Chain A
Amino acid sequence: MNAPVLARVRDPVREGVASGWKVIDASKPGEDLALECDVAIVGTGAGGGMVAEALAQAGISVVMIEEGGLRTSSDFTLREADAYPDLYQESAARKTADKSINILQGRCVGGGTTVNWTSSFRTPAATLDHWVRTYGLSTFTAGALAPWFDTVEKRLSITPWEVAPNPNNDALARGAARLRIPAATIRRNVRGCADLGYCGVGCVLNAKQSMLVTTIPEALGRGATLVTRARAERLVMRGDAVVALEGRGMDASGASPGSRAFTVRARSFVSAAGAIGTPGLLLRSGVPDPQGLVGRRTFVHPTLVSAAIMPDRIDGFAGAPQTVFTDHYLDTLPPSGPIGFKLEAAPIHPILASITLPGHGATHAAFMREFAHLHVLVALLRDGFHPGSTGGTVRLREDGTPLLDYPFSPYVWDGARRAFRAMADLQFAAGAKRVMPIHGRGEAYDDSVQARRAIDAFSLAPLVTPVVSAHVMGGCAIGPDPRRACVTPEGRYHHLSNLHVADGSLFPTSVGSNPQLTIYAVAARIGARLAAQLAPRKASG
């Protein structure tokens, strides 16, 4: 099998920069930067991108601050060894405080949307119901959000994926069918996708409709400014208002702050730095927080992994990474009951697979020799809906960088055990020769009975049971009551007049599905409201 050869596509982002878009790389030597605008936005991911576009289209001047670099389709090599250090937080090795969860988060222009696997789900009805009833979010009904979903789905070409699933996803569909549980097709934000399977290392065809190729170019084309490789360090407040954002350009490595300082003065500020970055910025800034809510109740969809060896080649690196899912183990449990989980397939690339497979030496090497036959399922636990799942807390290290402390409860571990069982059953039903629930030293099992017996006896614990997360949510929860929430339902920080939050940190629980589309819709609504609020003042003043 040979790797395909692709024709290089047009790079509209590079062309835009060449045409005079205002893009400043703050890691380059130069004078300190002093910028002024109507709205400063921290972060260029799903939230920041949507808000930037809404504001720029309303004629409002915008400065976007991004800690990662501007990397475009011309830069992407499709190699994990290049992509992880370049496009991900902490080289894709970001960890929780006790190192028990490995967090995949984007850090580049476009944020997570540049490197995500394109899975697009509207917020599940059970989640919205819970938010309305428990958190008083009366504007978060399916009906109230529908126009925003319609708008962003059209904007980002979110449509059902009509191409046949790759063998890795097909195994999920086949296993579910044999177990008689419902599985369905995942919608994706792509246009002209060639089904390569390399979404996670940057789309080389500009087919993925990430913020990098949609809203950010739109904002830049309308005169917005983008400052890259710039870490937002603190919001400067006077009275109940933020007057400036201060920070520093990164050093040449891009990993640590350098010496070039920047200040952005603006009428309004939007934090869209993600559910670790936003609480981090707010905590560093010492924003008023009488109830101590900032950074609390942070959720991650704790994700368990199960690897199977299939009789035929799977080539899980090729083909759209996530196209089939089952919510059977969510829909058959009430959110207030035992923790439910969503099952999806996960793309299988050499680094991601090899660091996920436990053990060393002969055991590890033997499994890696089956690389082309590996089929991998992931179970995303729906955390935050039950008193047994209160999530984690973002706090600051001595150097001011944010750190998520996420303790596990017996309630969450119970879900992990049921998830391992469900994945093993499904993989054997799909024809797996052996199944290795990713746990402990990585024992593999030959049949469902053997696997179940072993899983029932697993001693589940941090750093014994590897847990991953690609979805960090919460920590700056939205809600009408300032005693229980940080941000108003309209997106403004309760205790400051001109600070907004527009990212995954807003959610009062986890979403219960891949969150990008929920973030897009909620951020688009916040952005439109902010644009309406600022544009008339701009015209009259």
Chain B
Amino acid sequence: MRRRTFLTLGVAGAAALAAAGWFATRRHQPLPVGRALDADATAIVGAIAPAMLDGALPTRAEDRAAALREVVAGVDRAVGGLPDAARHEIGQLFALLALAPARRAFAGVASPWSEASLEEVTAFLDRWQASAWALKRSAYDALHQLVIAAWYGNPRSWPAIGYPGPPRVEGNA
């Protein structure tokens, strides 16, 4: 019950803040907003992906930027394809993380997501992965699964891991 109340408060709080127009200023160009992820969730995924995939993403700036865009788009597609109950829970997680006080207190990330450093986000992932609280570990797992699947499902990731891709079937694209 505690978890539901907490997450519901998070959603309500996020809505109130959004209504007040209290958005974090963004240092970078915002990523395009998808269908399932709103602007806040997009910024969060955009901040988490470079840490989750550190060492796996391309190093060349423009390749990296394109890869990141595709990861965020992949997460958006994945969330959009989940059943209502799962999509709702993911939505609550992003709403909570988007709330500045919750981001600081709950996630331990001082900077707004779009300004958070790689080290800051990596430390957040480390903490949540090893948290004594199962809710944080399950949230970590959700972010892990979404972001990592979005990258390794993308053919752009395959050369670096020695995967030749699936057999091609004549007549298919």
Contact = CB atoms under 8 A, between A and B. Distances in A.
Interface in A1-32: 1-8
Interface in B105-152: 122, 125, 129-130, 134, 137-138, 141-142, 144-145, 148-149, 151-152
Interface string A243-265: 00000000001111000000000
B140 to A, nearest CB: 8
A360 B83 contact: no
A368 B80 contact: no
A368 B151 CA distance: 12
Contacts of B157: 350
Contact of A368 (B84, B85, B154, B161): B161
A361 B148 CA distance: 10
A137 B103 CA distance: 56
B167 A78 contact: yes
Contacts of A365: 53-56
Contact of A253 (B80, B163, B166): B80
B171 to A, nearest CB: 5
A61 B51 CA distance: 57
A98 B164 contact: no
Nearest to A2: B164
A3 B172 CA distance: 14
B86 A317 contact: no
B166 A78 contact: yes
B141 A81 contact: no
Nearest to A363: B55
A48 B24 CA distance: 53
Contact of A355 (B77, B125, B145): B145
A519 B145 CA distance: 31
B51 A81 contact: no
A293 B80 CA distance: 35
A80 interface: yes
A362 B82 contact: no
B64 to A, nearest CB: 14
A354 B138 contact: no
Contacts of B55: 361-362, 364-366
B82 A401 contact: no
Contacts of B168: 3-6
Contacts of A385: none
Interface stretch (A85-93, A304-312, A410-418): A85-93
B86 A93 contact: yes
A397 interface: yes
A360 B51 contact: yes
Interface residues of A, number: 59
Given A351-B153, A359-B129, A371-B161, A78 B81 contact: no
Nearest to A77: B172
A354 B54 contact: no
Interface of B is mostly: helix
Interface in A339-389: 350-351, 353-355, 358-362, 364-366, 368-369, 371-372
Nearest to A91: B81
Contact of B149 (A3, A253, A354, A401): A354
Interface residues of B, number: 49
A353 B158 CA distance: 13
B7 interface: no
B52 A354 contact: no
B33 interface: no
B169 interface: yes
A320 B80 CA distance: 32
A371 B137 contact: no
B163 A355 contact: no
B129 A441 contact: yes
B102 interface: no
Contacts of B21: none
A313 B162 CA distance: 10
A261 B68 CA distance: 41
Contacts of A35: none
A85 B166 contact: no
Interface string B63-98: 000000000001001101111111100000000000
Most buried by A among B74, B141, B151, B157: B141
A93 B166 contact: no
Interface string A173-211: 000000000000000000000001010010010000000
Interface string A64-97: 0000000000000111110011000011010100
Contacts of B148: 354-355, 360, 364
A99 interface: yes
A464 interface: yes
A124 to B, nearest CB: 33
B83 A401 contact: yes
A162 interface: no
A362 B86 CA distance: 29
B81 A98 contact: no
A253 B86 CA distance: 14
A361 B54 contact: yes
B82 to A, nearest CB: 6
A361 B51 contact: yes
Contacts of A360: 51-54, 122, 125, 129, 144, 148
A463 B53 CA distance: 21
Interface of B: 51-56, 74, 77-78, 80-87, 122, 125, 129-130, 134, 137-138, 141-142, 144-145, 148-149, 151-154, 157-158, 160-172
12 contacts: A8-B171, A77-B166, A90-B83, A93-B145, A98-B134, A102-B145, A255-B83, A255-B87, A371-B162, A403-B85, A441-B129, A464-B137
3 closest A-B pairs by CB: A365-B55, A81-B153, A78-B166
